Amino acid sequence: MKTPEFITETSSSFPDGHTTALAPVTHAADVAERRQTLRDFRTPPAPTPPAHLDDYRSIIGQANLDVLRYLARDLKGKTIKMVNSTAVGGGVAEMLNRLVPMLTELEVPTHWDVITGGNDFFEVTKAFHNALQGSDYQLTQHVKEIFLMYNEQNMKRMQFGEDLVVIHDPQPAALVRTRNDSASHWVWRCHIDLSHPNPQVWDFLRPYIEQYNAAIFSSQSFSRQLPIPQYLFYPCIDPLSEKNKELDDSTVQAVCDEFGIDRSRPIVTQVSRFDRAKDPVGVIQAFKLAKKYVDCQLVMAGGGASDDPEGAAVLHEVKTAAGEDPDIIILDLPPWCALEINALQRASTLVVQKSIKEGFGLTVTEGLWKGKPTIAAAVGGIPNQIIHKHTGLLVHSIEGCAYQIRYLLTHLDFARRLGENGREHVKENFLMTTNVKRWLLLLRILTGTQTALHPGAE
């Protein structure tokens, strides 16, 4: 089969910092046939209305919906506040966008606030994020002052009168100082890998974490020695969101045509922020090793988050590593391109997530939900999703990733079984409705709601 010749587009920056999608294009005579003109991604589409609980009946069944409504029955009027560091980009914002309306529909009013800060604050918190996941870092007094100053500013502009206040990740962790003698129950929800934190940063943050009523982690291995109760909450995806809903094949094809992706050849895809912890350069190296033996294309689709100042530098590293390879398709997409990400994952032959550090890896969950055979690094919360050789394949190196790409592309029946098992694993454990159930149970525990937990019990 003759492979079309491609050249790589030069990206042009948008005023908001996003770039045009970097897609391969054919020579001028073939452009019209191969794909549409790239759309301007600067303007977000109108948001789609959130799904209602009854819309999930065909996925989880009526009995599970009844359980959610029963658990919420005695919590009606209880209020929750969620606080994090960004409204767009990253898994936390994606989950809150769906979790908040679902809890509110159950008559547990849930509010969502986003902290503000300058570039210096987000540079500090990005360094904290990396350090808490094991990177070397020298904590200075100046850095502490920046962190506490912005937390103090946010304390002054925010109100915390809800029954449950949930603070997500380290950026707003010091907001707990405003708790005082409030009757609110405060919970720190940590989404990152804390299994081997930098001692200086953890020792600085720990006194604040110890002031909470409880802490929640995404994996058993992230638990720390703390004097407060700790809970395990798996992150989750919404199966009816733009990123995960079913798509017809014409939509998938249109997206592939737009980005110059050839669906007649195998497609290997990694979707993630351009973050060194996601090892995008390592993915390119693994792909180049595998491509010596099997024909395939690599799609690297990602973007940035508003609280991550390193994205542009990492994207540059990725483009350098890709070089002039016409089979490496790099897409820098803003967060509102969820439908395009959905289509890319559904077009993929394999999904890869070769992270070095990973709190959980919702892009793994997304690939599994779409029935795609998935190769992922054995780090962080990923082994809770990938049961090796059953729901996917775990790898430990660039060479191991390359080998598994080759193996799955030449053992299609095995790859299909992995995809089927992975989807069922997500359905049982990692859907938004299961997450709502956990939040309702925690609210009952913390507020002392003692009614029977079994429908029909008196």
Q: To which residue do tokens 């390193």 refer?
A: 310
Contact in structure between 392 and 372 (CB atoms under 8 Å): no
Q: Rounded distance, CA 34 to CA 57, Å?
A: 40
Report how far Cα 145 is from the mean position of its chain's Cα atoms: 30
Q: 332 forms bridges with which residues in the sheet?
A: 302
Contact in structure between 80 and 109 (CB atoms under 8 Å): yes
Res 113 pLDDT > 90: yes
Q: Rounded distance, CA 455 to CA 458, Å?
A: 9
User: Radius of gyration of the chain from Cα atoms?
Assistant: 22
Q: What is the mean pLDDT of residues 109-121?
A: 96
Q: Is 196 helix (H, G, I), strand (E, B) or coil?
A: coil
24 pLDDT band (50/70/90 cuts)?
very low
| CA distances from residue 78 to 158, 162, 293, 294 in whole angstroms, order as listed | 19, 8, 59, 56
pLDDT digits (tens, 9 = 90+) for 31-89: 334 434 456 676 777 878 889 999 999 999 999 999 999 999 999 989 999 999 998 87
Q: What is the pLDDT of residue 11?
A: 35
Contact in structure between 392 and 376 (CB atoms under 8 Å): yes
Contact in structure between 133 and 277 (CB atoms under 8 Å): yes
Q: Is 7 helix (H, G, I), strand (E, B) or coil?
A: strand
Nearest alpha-carbon partner for 240 in 59, 35, 427, 81: 59
Please report, as a single letter, which amino acid is at residue 216.
I
* H or E element in which residue 416 lies: helix 412-429
Stated pTM of the model: 0.85
pLDDT digits (tens, 9 = 90+) for 235-250: 999 999 999 999 999 9
Alpha helices in 40-118 (DSSP H): 57-60, 62-73, 91-105
Q: What is the pLDDT of residue 34?
A: 46
| CA distances from residue 307 to 121, 125, 311, 363 in whole angstroms, order as listed | 9, 8, 10, 19
